[in-house]
Structure 1
Amino acid sequence: MIEVTEIKVALDDGVDEHAFLEAALKDVCSMLQVSQGDILDAQLYRTSVDARKKRDVHFTVTIRFELASSGAEEEAIGRVAEKARRRVRIIEPRTTTFPQPLGARGATTDRPIVVGAGCAGLFAALTLAEAGLEPLLIERGDDAERRGEAVRRFNETGVLDPESNIQFGLGGAGTFSDGKLNTGTKNPDHRLILETLAAAGAPRDILWDAKPHIGSDILPSVVTAIIARIRACGGEVRFRTKLLDIERSDSGAVVGVTVMSDEREERLATRHLILACGHSARDIFEMLQRRNFTLARKTFAMGARIEHLQEAIDRAQYGPAAGHPALGAAPYKLVSHAPNGRSLFTFCMCPGGEVVAAASEEGGVVTNGASLHARAGRNANAALLVNVTPKDLPGDDVLAGIKLQRECEQAAFQLGGGDYRAPAQLVGDFLIGIPSTSGAGVIPTYPRGVTWTAIGLVLPAYVSDTMRLGLPELARHLKGFDDEEAVITGVETRSSAPITVVRDKSCHAEHAPGLYPCGEGAGYAGGIMSAATDGIRCARALIDDLTA
């Protein structure tokens, strides 16, 4: 198979998959001196926007295809001009698949249990189900439809369901997000994950877009389809079922769990437990601490959401090409290293999206971001975060990071007015250190409403100071980022877990055979793709144990 990279495609030719391929194949045929009829099974592999020159914004495309034989491919590459040779190569694609049914090799007296139906738990359960192990997947929150109703009710009334909300329920925190699937790492399982999501109803362009996304309007049906696939393979899925305790033998090995559903406790025997509980399952972390599982503090991040007009971001990123229908809403990813030795960075940027009310505990305000697939909203938003290291935390309590998160969330609740309104401040006021009394050109999208105040009152001083130092530097990378009418809404505390459930290289929890800590909540992922990848990794480790 031949791969050709860095094919320049005009914006007008980037309408859809067919148009991309047609435009790219013209360049490839000229480069390799072959006819289009010689090219077999051409696949659009990657597309990205090149906006380095604002007067020449275009797509850069990679395609893969075959010729009649390996000899024909080598001959064609030999005809490529020297200056273009680095863009062409023969490849053997690395692919992975879900395991085939294990049959007698995977026989066990009790079935594996997966806790949490976020991305990690879903893909762990799916991998086990495809292997014929008939896993039980439990999720404390609701299925997609009921969860959506709970979120809408909270947005409209302020009545929070602590078990089913933007953090808990089918799909985890990722379901009510932008659904970004890009990742900074390379792993053969990424293609398997993307193909699984596409087969479940995600847009096909996630297979080739360099910055793929699904959107919070499509994600619920996608994760619902994955649940149906798990059940079709023999797995069982229980919603509104909460993990209360993990039972261990004298040697420390997992032998069972206690769960609660319909206000009834139940013991379930298992020797294989994948714990994919998500970064907001604080009660589980507290239970793990009580039961002497090995936990460790880890660096996490806190800050707030920043909102700009999306059209301003489009102009800053794309110049005169802003608004072209092939481009859509412009994203960004920024980092600044402040003179105080800390860094300020953006995270989970949501083009054309909204700031969402992401509380999972009563009496606390939490913000996050989300976009529909079309990304057609008026505002752009992103988390504006500063790292919090273990050294920043007092004492030696491994859960001190959770305590700090909770304190900031509760302070934001009080400052917002006590009904889940969020504290907000104009960037111009924030930079000069005065409270805001009203909004300006950017209308906040947080659904419960905002209270104009000073955001620094609910964050550690080192966080707000770093935000204030770093914002002008970020504006040097993206013009207008420090616009005085932009809005900061807080607090953003749940970008990652502040602890790690310590495990070894084979995914086993330290001193706890049979427990596989997994995903964001255990400290081993940081987004949809990395969480799904870790779910597959832990499921394979479990399978290896059964077949050893």
Structure 2
Amino acid sequence: MIKVSGIRVPEGADTEHVRKKTAHMLRIKTEDMQDFRVLKRSVDARKKNEICDVYTVSFDAPDEKNTVRGCGLKNVSLIEETRYEYPISGVSMREHRPVVCGFGPAGIFASLLLSRAGCKPIIYERGCSMEKRASDVEEFFRTGLLNPESNVQFGEGGAGTFSDGKLNTGIKDREGRLRFVLETFVKCGADEDILTSSHPHIGTDRLRKIIPSIRYEIEKLGGEIRFESKVTGISVCDTEKAGKSMQLCGIRTEQGEDITCDSLFLCIGHSARDTFEMLHDTGVDMEVKPFAVGVRAEHERRMIDEAMRQEKASYRLTYHCRDGRGVYSFCMCPGGYVVNASSEEGHLTVNGMSYNARDGINSNAAIVCTVDPADFIEYGNDALSGMRFQRELERRAYEECGGYIPYQTYDDFIKNRPSVSFGTVQPSCKGSFAMGNIRQILPDNICGDIIEAMPAFGKRITGYDRADTLFAGIEARTSSPVRILRDKDLQSINVMGLYPVGEGAGYAGGIMSAAIDGMKCAERYIRGE
């Protein structure tokens, strides 16, 4: 199979145009190109009058080696097609069914593979099924009445369900897992464009329909999903097997149900703070890890699109501050909304969310600054110090505006004063908001670094550092504040049978990487490794 990258064609050109351009580049006939596939499509809008589409394609052809050698192009190569291969079971039927805790991306794809292998997992999800969860979230946006177990963070689909639904990842995929996840989404209702787009996304409205379709297959294959069932404890016993000190023996739910099991896939999200505390108290080895905190910046989508020379434009910004910290954009939502993403009473955090159409009047992105254990020292020197730091910032955010999302113009943020009016940019959010002073919430050094970075971002995107740019606060849950340590067998370093999986465990960041991590852990179990 031949792969050709960097094929530049006029914006909007169809696949046949790309096919002919590729054949011309390689000096071959179009009819000799069999099984022609688009692998990736992106837009190059760097020059306003020369906007073009850029393609990567693959195809079969006669005498491929000589074709590649003869064209003399560096962007042409021979490749082997990679298709995901299901793991072959390496053990006989086990005494106990595997248990999965959490039904976000990691839990969903771990459960899907376990079910297809005939393992019939039992899945516990603290939140509600999609229909009930969506109703609870909309009620919270409308009234401010929070259900701590069914919200933007918890419930079927995980936190990513109420986000932009981004499917991009930096993971190198040599085993075909990435394609498998994307094809699963397409099979369940996502647009086929996600298979080729350089920045694939689904949108919160589509995800709410797609996730239950995957659940139906899991149930059809014998998997059992128990919603509104929080795992509140694990039981362990002493062991000396495989260099571990403990063996998983079972779990306990909030309803008082005790389940005997010897394998638990811990697919909790980054907001499962009570579960972190339970694991820490049980003696599961974990460590504090760096993450990032900051604000969510809102601009008119028209301004961003014009600056980026592209409709519904995405961007990625980074800046290295004089004090050594990094400030960067995170979870950018074209045509999206700022959402109240709180999950604890008396605490407030925000996130970004887009629908599939991405047609809102504003675009937003988190502008966050890296923090590490040195920033958490006053909150302890154990694995949970970062979590306590997050909680304190979220408590301040809640108190700043009485539970409403604090909003502030960039100009007022610089001058450290509460906003009393907005400029051209008006808030586009889900949940009630009020004007406040975010400088009173975040540490001074974080605020200073954001202020230092904004003019640099304004040079990249004209108007980004306008005085009436809106900041909403605070963005505190960019990633998990802990890492539950695991070894090469993907099990806890000290508890045999416990698989820390995905974003909450500290091994993923986003829908795709969490889903792939769930697959990897399930593969280990299925193979008996």
Task: Tell me the TM-score normalized by structure 2.
Answer: 0.96
Equivalents in 2 of 1:350, 1:191: separation in Å?
Answer: 23
Q: Which moved more, 1:118-127 or 1:180-189?
A: 180-189
2:158 corresponds to 1:166: no
Shift of 1:304: 1.2
Question: Residue type matched to 1:56 in 2?
Answer: E
For residues 16-31 of structure 1, the aligned pairs below 5 Å read 19=14, 21-31=15-25
> Which of 137, 147, 162 is residue 176 of structure 1 equivalent to?
162
1:405 aligns with 2:390: yes
Tell me, yes or no, if structure 1 residue 356 matches structure 2 residue 356. Answer: no
Partners in 2 of 1:99 and 1:10 — Cα distance?
43
The aligned residue for residue 243 of structure 2 is: none
User: C-alpha root-mean-square deviation of aligned residues, in Å?
Assistant: 1.4
Correspondence 1:533 to 2:509? no
Once the 2 structures are TM-superposed, how far is the Cα of residue 43 of structure 1 from its aligned partner?
0.8
- Aligned position for 1:16: none
Query: Which of 218, 228, 231 pairs up with 1:230?
Result: 218
Q: Which residue of 1 aligns with 2:358?
A: 375
Distance across 2 between alignment mates of 1:275 and 1:173: 16
Structure 2 partner of 1:386: 369
Runs of 4+ residues deviating >4 angstroms: none
Number of the residue aligned with 2:270: 279
Q: How far off is 1:79 after superposition? A: 4.2
Structure 2 distance, partners of 1:171, 1:98, is 23
Per-residue deviation, residues 97-148 of structure 1 (Å, max 9, x unmatched): 3335x4x933101000010000011111111111111111111111111110
Is contact 1:106-1:133 (8 Å) kept?
A: no
- Give the residue type in structure 2 aligned to 1:412: A
CA distance in 1, matches of 2:325, 2:75: 39
Equivalent of 2:65 in 47, 70, 74: 74
Percent of aligned pairs sharing the same letter: 40
The aligned counterpart of 2:432 is 449
Contact kept, 8 Å, 2:87 with 2:526, in 1: the verdict is no
The one-letter code of the counterpart of 1:153 is: E
236, 239, 242: which is aligned to 2:230? 242
Question: Which among 302, 309, 314 is matched to residue 331 of structure 1?
Answer: 314
Aligned-partner Cα distance in 1 for 2:428–2:519:
36
Secondary structure, counterpart of 1:108 in structure 2 = coil
Between the aligned partners of 1:31 and 1:467, the Cα distance in structure 2 is 46
Q: CA–CA distance in 2 between the matches of 1:37 and 1:446?
A: 52
Q: Measured at CA, do residues 469 and 78 of structure 1 come closer, stay the same or move farther in structure 2, by a change above 3 Å?
A: closer
List per-residue Cα deviations over 1:153-188 (Å, max 9, x = no partner). 001111111001000001100001111111122123
For the pair 1:39 / 2:25, whether they are aligned, the reply is no
* Partner Cα distance (1:200, 1:390) in 2: 41
CA contact (8 A) 1:167 1:280 kept: yes
CA distance in 1, matches of 2:170, 2:44: 18
State how far apart, in whole Å, the 1-side matches of 2:12 and 2:80 are: 32
Which string of whole-angstrom CA distances, capped at 9 and with x for unpartnered residues, describes residues 362-404 of structure 1? Answer: 1111100010111111000001111110111123132111111
Asked if the contact 1:6/1:60 (under 8 Å) is kept, the reply is yes
**How far is the alpha carbon of 1:432 from its aligned partner?**
3.2
CA distance in 2: counterparts of 1:170 and 1:406, whole angstroms: 24
Find out whether 1:220 has 2:211 as its counterpart.
no
Q: In 1, Cα distance between the equivalents of 2:249 and 2:110?
A: 20
Partner residue, 1:92: 80
For 1:299, the equivalent position in structure 2 comes to: 290
Instruction: Name the CA distance, whole Å, in 1 between partners of 2:42 and 2:171.
Output: 17
CA deviations on 1:20-79 (whole Å, 9 max, x unpaired) are x21211101212333322221111110011122232111100111112x4x2x2343344
- Once structures 1 and 2 are overlaid, which stretch shifts more, 273-282 or 433-442? 433-442
User: Residues 91 and 526 of structure 2 are in contact (CA less than 8 Å); yes or no, is this contact kept in structure 1?
Assistant: no
Tell me how far apart the structure 2 counterparts of residues 129 and 12 of structure 1 sit (CA, whole Å): 41
Q: Distance in 1 between matches of 2:30 and 2:226?
A: 52
* 3-state SS of paired residue (1:303): strand
**2: distance between equivalents of 1:213 and 1:486?**
25
Could you tell me whether the CA contact under 8 Å between 1:6 and 1:87 is conserved in 2? yes
| Corresponding residue for residue 2 of structure 1 | 2
Q: Which amino acid aligns with 2:109?
A: F
- Specify every segment of 5 or more residues in structure 1 that has no aligned partner in the other structure, as ranges: 14-18, 323-327
What amino acid sits opposite 2:224 in the alignment?
E
Match of 1:54 in 2: 48
- The answer on whether the counterparts of 2:144 and 2:432 sit within 8 Å (CA) in structure 1 is no
Paired residue type of 2:390: Q
Taking the aligned partners of 2:473 and 2:314, their CA distance within structure 1 comes to: 21
* SS at structure 2 position matched to 1:285: helix
Of 188, 194, 214, the match for 1:206:
194
Q: Aligned partners of 2:42, 2:169: CA distance in 1, in Å? A: 14
Q: How many residues align?
A: 519
Whether 1:414 aligns to 2:399 is: yes
What are the Cα deviations for residues 287-336 of structure 1, in whole angstroms up to 9, with x where unaligned?
01111111101001111110000111111111xxx4xxxxx300000011
Counterpart of 1:193?
A: 181
Residue in structure 2 matched with residue 267 of structure 1 by the alignment: 258
Task: Kindly indicate whether the alpha-carbon contact (under 8 Å) linking 2:205 and 2:355 is maintained by their aligned counterparts in 1.
Answer: yes
2:247 to 245, 253, 262: 253
Structure 2 counterpart of 1:204, one-letter code: E
Counterpart CA distance in 1 for 2:29 and 2:126 is: 57
Residue type of the alignment partner of 1:398: A
Aligned match of 1:435: 418
Whole-angstrom CA distance in 2 between matches of 1:166 and 1:4 = 41
Contact 1:51 1:317 in 2 (8 A): yes
User: Following the alignment from structure 2 to structure 1, what is the Cα–Cα distance between the partners of residues 194 and 65?
Assistant: 31
Which 5+ residue runs of structure 2 have no aligned equivalent?
240-245
* 1:283 Cα deviation after fit: 0.6
8 Å contact 1:97–1:192 — kept in the other structure? no
SS at match of 1:382: strand
Counterpart-to-counterpart distance in 1, 2:92 and 2:229: 26
Tell me whether 1:147 sits opposite 2:138 in the alignment.
no
Residues in 2 aligned to 1:106 and 1:463: alpha-carbon distance in whole angstroms? 54
Secondary structure, counterpart of 2:4 in structure 1: strand
Per-residue deviation, residues 262-294 of structure 1 (Å, max 9, x unmatched): xx3111111000101110000100101111111
